[in-house]
Structure 1
Amino acid sequence: MSKKLTTGPAIIMLVIPCAILVAFTHYPAIMALINSFWNNASSRRPSRFVGADNYQAMLEDDRLMQVLINSTIYAVGTVPLAIGLAIGMALLVNSRLPGTAFMRLSFFLPTMLPMIAVANIWLFFYAPGIGLASQILGLFGLASINFLGQTETALGSMMFVAIWKEAGLFMIFYLAALQSVPTNLKDAAKLEGAGRVRVFIDVVLPLLRPTTIFVAVNALINAFRLVDHVVVMTEGGPNNSSALLLYYIYEVTFRQRDFAYGATLTVLMVVLLGFLAIIQFWVLNRKAHYQ
């Protein structure tokens, strides 16, 4: 009787999260895969099976190619820089410098803000002529730049915003990892004559590899699933120069009402993210040290 009383709540606590996971993750993914093999229904014409026609259309979609290039540039530009900045900030706030508590709050504050609020803040920052960026350029005698209105600068401007917002979150993980590094290993390296830089490269950085795997995978997923500040800041423009993959899926599905092609693009994103995550685990996990 007592065994039933103890296992009952455990089963309930296991079933509920699994049911939520299936309902909101696995089931939508399976339905997206199924819908990608059907055409778009209308009030006069029901949906019918079209096989791989949607995937054929995807291969011939020139705009999708531009979106994938933008997403690749965005991921390659934001993920390493955000991780590097997060490590630097974690080292700074983990030191014995005065004011580290204030620095932790300052670095983490952008992460606490909703992306919509962040996007609106940076809209004022990038505003040509009156924004803070234009004012700073004016101090050096440089002309004002429409950062979000030019194809050469729109994507880079959004990448800067993402790095500014996400680095503080990643800093928390690296700070926890730094505080768990055994001090005896660092002391042993110092006794061997290693300087601070050599201790960090040879001792600390390898021990941070599991954290880097976790952060890199999450940063890559965030880079491809970003949509809110694209909608607020550029709407994918100008001339699709800042359109990312999830924004394109949103536009196709909810603005153009092409649910079948939107499901096909969703399958592409899931497969792409899974493939990239596997590569990251394979590359970074080979020399990871787990305690």
Structure 2
Amino acid sequence: MGKERHAARIKRNAFAWMLLFPSLVFLGLFTYYPIAKTVKLSFYQADLSIRKPLYIGLDNYKTMLHDAVFHKVFLNNLWFAAGTIPISLALALAMAVFANRALKTKGLVRTAFFYPTVIPMIAIANIWLFIYTPQYGLLDRLARVIGSGETNWLGTPHTVMWAMIAMIIWKEAGYFMVFYLAGMQNISKELYEAADADGVGGWKVFRKITFPLLLPTTLL
């Protein structure tokens, strides 16, 4: 019996690895290999004036650390991450809770929430360019209705970061929602039934049951 169980487990694991293999190949070719290649090239000087890359050690990193443009870009990336990640996760969780409810249109709601994720980035850029365009964009038209002046959202240093953050949140929240929906399927319905029997309100159920049990998904 032990040998049969062991053979069955090996067979099951082999089948799982066969299913994963195509994705792992693409992940290795288009994600891990470029990362490793980039790290390797960072120790070399490679430009049009040199036929063969010249090993220079950490000189590229020393130059980068003293580059004012790099400092600005690095700070902008920190602000961008701080603005997109928490808000995207919070919005995705709210969308997942709403989409997970027993609604007749549940499938339609999930599709609508996830749809921005599958739109190509070039199309996303054009959609939001229409929203942000000075004078003719949707935001400026709304501002004109309430008596406010026009704003160059993508051409003003104080607004361009927030404009980009809003666009990325709109595109990525649906992707994170899928993970939360998957995590909710693993939460025992008995917990919700017990809370309902005790007369616990919806907000308290979310704080005491749903959110804590979705922490592994949030960390992922």
TM-score normalised according to structure 1 size:
0.63
Letter in 2 for 1:78: T
**1:207–1:26 CA distance, 2 compared to 1 (3 A):** same
| 2:91 is equivalent to residue 85 of structure 1 | yes
- Cα shift at 1:42: 3.0
The equivalent of 1:129 in structure 2 is 135
The equivalent of 1:32 in structure 2 is 38
| 2:202 is equivalent to residue 204 of structure 1 | no
**Cα deviations across residues 73-131 of structure 1 (Å, max 9, x unaligned)?**
11111111111111111111222456444332322221121111001111011110011
Structure 1 residues 13-24: aligned runs within 5 Å: 13=18, 22-24=28-30
Within 1, Cα distance between the matches of 2:141 and 2:25? 53
**1:111–1:33 CA distance, 2 compared to 1 (3 A):** closer
Give unmatched runs, 5+ long, in structure 1: 215-291
Structure 1 residues 1-291: aligned runs within 5 Å: 13=18, 22-43=28-49, 46-97=52-103, 99-214=105-220
**1:143–1:98 CA distance, 2 compared to 1 (3 A):** farther
Letter in 1 for 2:176: F
Letter in 1 for 2:214: L
- Cα shift at 1:47: 3.3
Question: Larger C-alpha radius of gyration, 1 or 2?
Answer: 2
- Cα shift at 1:57: 0.2
The farther-off stretch of 120-129 and 99-108 is 99-108
- RMSD value, Cα: 2.7
Corresponding residue SS for 2:45: coil
Letter in 1 for 2:81: A
Within 2, Cα distance between the matches of 1:193 and 1:184? 14
Within 2, Cα distance between the matches of 1:43 and 1:71? 31
TM-score normalised according to structure 2 size:
0.82
Give unmatched runs, 5+ long, in structure 2: 1-6
Corresponding residue SS for 2:155: coil
Q: Percent identity among equivalent residues?
A: 39
Aligned residue pair count = 207
Within 2, Cα distance between the matches of 1:16 and 1:205? 34
**Cα deviations across residues 173-232 of structure 1 (Å, max 9, x unaligned)?**
222322332111122233344221111111111111122122xxxxxxxxxxxxxxxxxx
Letter in 2 for 1:202: K
Within 2, Cα distance between the matches of 1:31 and 1:93? 42
Corresponding residue SS for 1:133: helix
Within 2, Cα distance between the matches of 1:55 and 1:203? 47
Letter in 1 for 2:188: P
Within 2, Cα distance between the matches of 1:180 and 1:100? 18
**1:132–1:200 CA distance, 2 compared to 1 (3 A):** same
